[in-house]
Amino acid sequence: MSCLKIDGGKRLYGEIAVHGAKNSILPLLAAAYMCQGQTVLHNCPFLSDVEISLKILEYLGCKCERQGSTLIISPSNSNCFEIPECLMREMRSSIVFMGALLSKMGSCVMSLPGGCELGPRPIDIHIDSLTKLGAVIECNHGFLTCSLPEGIKAAELYLKFPSVGATENIILAAAVSNGTTVIHNAAREPEIEDLALFLNSAGAEINGAGSDTVVINGVNRLNGTEYTVMPDRIIAATCMMATAACKGRICLNNANKNHLIPIISILRDGGTLVDVSDSGLTVTSHFRQHNFGTVTTQPYPGFPTDAGPILVALSSVCKGTGVFIENIFDSRFHYIDELRLLGADIKTVGRVAVITGVKSLVGADVVSHDLRGGAALTVAALAAKGCSIIRKPCYIDRGYQKIEEIFGCLGADIKRTED
Ligand code: EPZ
């Protein structure tokens, strides 16, 4: 089993380009399955979740080729409309293949999706919305059987919560259809806009993505296309907060400042300098940052739940006390016990964490339990004095391409070794 070994306490200096966003690539690959020509997708890092999506595409009959960070997906002629349980259970976002398969094949069979353990993750909004678009969906013993007896029926939908995955599934299902589908209270995450831009480049007509009202004018077919995936805003946030925790100065060459406004604001309020220019972001931290007061995670454009664990890691070494409230997922605090092993002073009640910053964390042997929690432990270990071991980096590999190289090129002493 591999692990990360970190000799912490080094300041971070250097510049990096942030790789493509996992949470954008996964729905784009489901969209590529619907295209009738070849799709060329640039800026696709090697991430375990991306590789699982490619396995799903290959199972469905697509040919997938990787040339560095470019993926080339050739369309499928297969009649397969079933995804094996072993692939569905590997990650939550496998559920976006439901909209894509319904659109292309008119039916699909799949198990309920898996993914990181963050508490219950129902799919009622997906099912309710696709049903309103004409799908007949049965769920028996953890398996979903879906059909579309009369094709997609355009509809006006209101989401009771702006679910990212449900918004993506609706967009995928309605992109090729007769009529106009409108999503009210849609998720506004940048990854939704990236999906719409990709689909529009393939011939779709989608307006309003990135706002709370998305209008999908169905088209007859999607062509092949060439597209570059947006940079990963959570990786950018991780590097920015790591610099605030470790001190130093880093430049993020291609980060999109508009996607990072809550992070920039919190860092600036705490005393970290963030310069925004046309070429990217520069983060400079010379002193111990002040804690952030109270932060609650919210759907975009609020503070992102995926950056919450990293903020808690930073907060652990700030001056004063911070209160962090996780508002999106029920159970996202598994990493906090491990942060305590590194010397963090954190009390939790339900979804609330109260963090009293300590002057310095100390190296420890800790275990990742999920993707962002693992990244938070890495940031804490980079800031801690002494050596740490992070076990099960396989979770981190779901969303960060070689985290040891990301921080290694910023001057951190971090290596992947076998146990
Ligand atoms: C996406 O998950 C991301 N995953 C998550 O990133 C991210 O944390 C989340 O959006 C919120 O921003 C991908 O894009 C692959 P949701 P998703 O549907 O689509 C409830 C990471 O670390 N809900 O917006 O699953 C749900 O239980 C990951 O990269 C329902 O109740 O998120 C949760 O509490 C983890 N019914 C909340 O909504 C539904 O039908 C947000 O879920 C759907 C969701």
**HSE (CB half, 13 Å, CA atoms) of 78?**
17
Instruction: Give the neighbor-by-neighbor strand order of the sheet with 63-67.
Output: 63-67, 70-74, 39-42, 225-228
Q: Whose CA is nearest to atom 43 of ligand 1?
A: 123
Mutate to test the pocket of ligand 1, among 92, 121, 335 (most ligand atoms within 8 A of CB): 121
User: Taking CA 45 as the corner, what is the angle to CA 280 and CA 121, rounded to the nearest 5 degrees?
Assistant: 100
**Ligand 1 atom closest to Cα of residue 329:** 34
H runs (alpha helix) in 60-189? 85-88, 97-105, 124-132, 164-175
Partners of residue 225 on adjacent β-strands: 39
Rounded to the nearest angstrom, the distance between the alpha carbon of 162 and the centre of ligand 1 is 9
Are 368 and 393 in contact, with CB atoms under 8 Å apart?
yes
Are 168 and 199 in contact, with CB atoms under 8 Å apart?
no
Nearby residues of 277 by Cβ (< 8 Å), 6 or more positions away: none
Chain mean position to CA 289: 26
**Ligand 1 atom closest to Cα of residue 125:** 40
Distance set, CA 144 to CA 95, 116, 193, 245, 257 (Å): 10, 20, 28, 45, 40
**Ligand 1 atom closest to Cα of residue 304:** 12
Q: Whose CA is nearest to atom 3 of ligand 1?
A: 23
Closest C-alpha among 269, 374, 278 to residue 320: 269
Distance set, CA 310 to CA 236, 245, 279, 301, 330 (Å): 11, 10, 25, 18, 17
The 8-class DSSP code of residue 92 comes to: G
- Cis bond upstream, residue 301 (ω within 30): yes
Are 30 and 39 in contact, with CB atoms under 8 Å apart?
no
* Alpha-carbon gap, residue 206 to 417, rounded angstroms: 46
Rounded to the nearest angstrom, the distance between the alpha carbon of 203 and the centre of ligand 1 is 27
Residues of the chain with pLDDT under 50: none
413-417: which pairs have CB atoms within 8 A and are 24 or more residues apart?
A: 413/6, 413/7, 413/8, 413/10, 414/4, 414/5, 414/6, 414/7, 414/378, 414/382, 415/4, 415/5, 416/2, 416/3, 416/4, 416/5, 417/2, 417/3, 417/5
- Which residue type, as a one-letter code, is found at position 309? P
Q: Whose CA is nearest to atom 44 of ligand 1?
A: 163
Cβ of 23 below 6 Å from ligand 1: yes
* Alpha-carbon gap, residue 407 to 315, rounded angstroms: 19
The pLDDT, as a whole number, for residue 1 is: 87
**Which residue numbers are catalytic?**
116
Nearby residues of 114 by Cβ (< 8 Å), 6 or more positions away: 88, 89, 90, 91, 92, 94
Distance set, CA 160 to CA 184, 186, 189, 279, 300 (Å): 9, 9, 16, 39, 16
The pLDDT, as a whole number, for residue 119 is: 67
**Ligand 1 atom closest to Cα of residue 124:** 40
Rounded to the nearest angstrom, the distance between the alpha carbon of 164 and the centre of ligand 1 is 6
Mutate to test the pocket of ligand 1, among 328, 334, 398 (most ligand atoms within 8 A of CB): 328
